């Protein structure tokens, strides 16, 4: 019997003991930084001459680790190993596969601060964000393990006298898993273990900004007892290794999380039938967002200001769920803008390894350049209220930035910026606010701050997003509580951390027997 699923609690760093424990973990991990991490193919560790050097975005001189880099030859071996291992792994008892996930969750829970400390150094996560990322990784392991136990006997269907019918789920085959760097632990771990627990084998190509945390996770799975070939770890270039894995005729399932451009490229490539391919590839693609906080005229403005600031600036706006747009009723627009400005100016920006830093850096030079160029566009399209400055002398720091008076169809209000920038647009009434909120090609998350029940009901019906929140921020979905995934160009709406997610990784089989 397993206990009922409950999400992993977040660490309260105001408790001295927790704060000291985290500082200790940061110190220990700092001493470990710079290690070399190998590829893993068919249970064999491989060290290559070519390496990915992972550095701390808050202090670019600090090397977090170097990770061997796969090429197409290694990728080929990884697919072949996964294909061979599949024949045995798919026959494992579902309970044994689920228990492996529970063991891995236990290992991570015991070393929770160590993993969070790696996230602080590798992607510049402030303490709380790093802690939440690790907690979510644990949640995915615990939740998907339990989901597999629920699905292991299939789902009930009707039988008739003399005829017994069954509906069961079977494993798919070789799964290629391509995660992003932003929820560097949670999404990487969650998207890797979902196919694993269903009996598929995995080739994991981590994001190049966060390969060290992925290498640490692979070690955990080995320690938990994962057999050789079942998970193969091949960090490498997206174009070279990513494309190769996606196109491979033995790839049966692709689980991608990342940008719209790469996601749509993968969907297209996966649809092309390769020589020797005998199946259609299943694709899960969770992509970008342009997420809106809508504020009504009858609303608690304290709640609204808090929701806008948390949604926009948590992890420096580098979440697909980040609320980069505020669409506000004209009656409360000026007052709310002033409240958001005040709150924003109180936020602390700095090296995420220090306590009480609200916002760390953005992840790399490309991200820095991209966000700074959007800030220039913002100055032309709107009115700069606060922020707007960056400093990349030591790390990639950008001030939390607020723009006002953006046209609904401006570039700032349509394109994903993926940085600490929020843009205000005025709406004459609630109907117009929802219309503006829906006017992007994305449909991932959204929030409505309103005390008007009719308007909340209207938003349920008409606000076209996969994750809709009322009277709170639009980030921070919790596994098992707020299954996550978007509409439109935000993806295939797979709802990670939800009851339907595992089924997307399997093939349903109907078995009918006459007596
Ligand atoms: N919807 C979601 O659940 C969700 C969650 C997190 C992030 N995101 C989105 O991810 C993006 C940020 O992450 P990112 O910068 O890592 O995205 P990205 O698209 O640049 O990269 C994602 C992954 O794809 C790989 N990749 C790159 N080129 C490839 C190719 N040609 N073939 C195969 N793989 C390739 C990368 O190496 C990385 O592992 C944002 O758009 C964000 O909104 C979405
Ligand atoms: N699931 C996360 C976002 C993942 C994308 O970056 C959230 O709900 O904030």
98 C-alpha to center of ligand 1: Å? Answer: 28
Q: Which atom of ligand 1 is nearest to the CA of 288?
A: 43
505 C-alpha to center of ligand 1: Å? Answer: 19
> What's residue 400's pLDDT?
98
> CA–CA separation, 88 vs 160, rounded Å?
34
Closest CA to 248 of 203, 297, 304: 203
Q: Ligand 1 within 6 A of 207 CB? A: yes
Q: How many residues does the chain have?
A: 515
- Partners of residue 397 on adjacent β-strands: 391
Angle at alpha carbon of residue 318, lines to 438 and 370, rounded to 5°: 90
Helix intervals (H) in 90-126: 94-110, 112-123
Q: Ligand 1 within 6 A of 143 CB? A: no
Mutating to test ligand 1, I would choose from 67, 125, 180 the residue with most ligand atoms within 8 A of its C-beta, which is 180
Q: Ligand 2 within 6 A of 321 CB? A: yes
> What's residue 154's pLDDT?
98
Pull the structure tokens for residue 113.
């601060």
Q: Ligand 1 within 6 A of 197 CB? A: no
96 C-alpha to center of ligand 1: Å? Answer: 32
| Catalytic residue set | 286
Mutating to test ligand 2, I would choose from 323, 467, 475, 493 the residue with most ligand atoms within 8 A of its C-beta, which is 475
- Residue 253 φ then ψ, to 5°: -140, 140
Q: Ligand 1 within 6 A of 25 CB? A: no
13 C-alpha to center of ligand 2: Å? Answer: 22
> CA–CA separation, 129 vs 374, rounded Å?
24
Q: Which atom of ligand 2 is nearest to the CA of 183?
A: 6
- Pairing status of strand 163-171 against strand 506-514: antiparallel
Q: What is the ipTM of this complex?
A: 0.98
Low-confidence ranges of the chain (pLDDT < 50): none
Q: Which atom of ligand 1 is nearest to the CA of 239?
A: 31
pTM above 0.90, yes or no: yes
> What's residue 490's pLDDT?
98
Pull the structure tokens for residue 56.
């701390």
Q: pLDDT tens across 348-384, in order?
A: 999 999 999 999 999 999 999 999 999 999 999 999 9
Q: Residue 387, SS3?
A: coil
97 C-alpha to center of ligand 2: Å? Answer: 27
388 C-alpha to center of ligand 1: Å? Answer: 26
**Cα atoms in the 13 Å half-sphere on the side-chain side of 406:** 31
Q: Ligand 1 within 6 A of 324 CB? A: no
Mutating to test ligand 1, I would choose from 191, 192, 259, 324 the residue with most ligand atoms within 8 A of its C-beta, which is 259
């Amino acid at each position: 019997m397993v206990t009922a699923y409950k999400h992993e609690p977040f660490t309260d760093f105001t408790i001295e003991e927790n704060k000291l424990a985290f500082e200790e973990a940061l110190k220990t991990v700092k001493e470990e930084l710079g290690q070399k991490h190998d590829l893993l193919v068919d249970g064999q560790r491989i060290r290559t001459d070519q390496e990915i050097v992972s550095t701390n975005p808050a202090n670019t001189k600090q090397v977090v680790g170097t990770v061997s880099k796969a090429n197409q030859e290694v990728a080929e071996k990884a697919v072949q190993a996964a294909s061979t291992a599949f024949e045995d792994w798919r026959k494992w008892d579902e309970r044994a596969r689920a228990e492996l996930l529970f063991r891995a969750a236990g290992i991570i829970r015991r070393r929770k601060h160590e993993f969070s400390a790696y996230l602080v150094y590798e992607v510049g996560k402030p303490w709380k964000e790093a802690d939440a990322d690790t907690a979510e990784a644990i949640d995915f392991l615990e939740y998907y393990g339990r989901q597999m136990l629920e699905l292991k006997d299939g789902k009930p269907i009707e039988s008739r006298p003399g005829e017994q019918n069954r509906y069961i789920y079977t494993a798919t085959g070789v799964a290629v898993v391509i995660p992003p760097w932003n929820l560097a632990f949670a999404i990487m771990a969650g998207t890797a273990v979902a196919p694993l627990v269903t009996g598929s084998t995995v080739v994991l190509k981590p994001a190049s900004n966060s390969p060290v945390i992925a290498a640490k996770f692979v070690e955990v799975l080995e320690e938990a007892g994962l057999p050789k070939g079942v998970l193969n770890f091949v960090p490498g270039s997206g174009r070279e290794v990513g494309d190769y894995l996606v196109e491979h005729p033995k790839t049966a399932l692709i689980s991608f999380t990342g940008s719209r451009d790469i996601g749509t490229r993968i969907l297209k490539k996966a649809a092309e039938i390769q020589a020797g391919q005998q199946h259609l590839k299943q694709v899960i693609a969770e992509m970008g967002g342009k997420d809106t906080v809508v504020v009504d005229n009858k609303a608690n403005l304290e709640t609204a200001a808090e929701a806008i600031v948390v949604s926009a600036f948590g992890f420096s706006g580098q979440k697909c769920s980040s609320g980069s747009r505020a669409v506000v009723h004209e009656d409360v627009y000026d007052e709310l803008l002033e409240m958001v400005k005040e709150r924003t100016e109180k936020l602390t920006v700095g090296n995420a390894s220090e306590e009480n830093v609200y916002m760390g850096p953005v992840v790399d030079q490309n991200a820095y350049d991209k966000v700074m160029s959007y800030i220039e566009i913002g100055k032309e399209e709107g009115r700069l209220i606060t922020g707007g400055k960056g400093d990349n002398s030591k790390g990639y720091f950008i001030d939390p930035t607020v723009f006002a008076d953006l046209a609904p169809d401006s570039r700032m209000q349509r394109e994903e910026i993926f940085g600490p920038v929020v843009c205000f647009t005025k709406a004459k009434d609630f109907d117009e606010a929802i219309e503006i909120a829906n006017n992007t090609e994305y449909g991932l998350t959204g929030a409505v701050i309103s005390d008007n029940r009719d308007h909340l009901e209207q938003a349920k019906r008409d606000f076209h997003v996969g994750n809709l929140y009322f009277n709170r921020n639009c980030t921070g979905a919790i596994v098992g509580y707020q299954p996550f995934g978007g509409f439109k160009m935000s993806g295939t709406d797979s709802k990670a951390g939800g009851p339907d997610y595992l089924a997307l990784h399997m093939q349903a089989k109907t078995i009918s027997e006459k007596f």
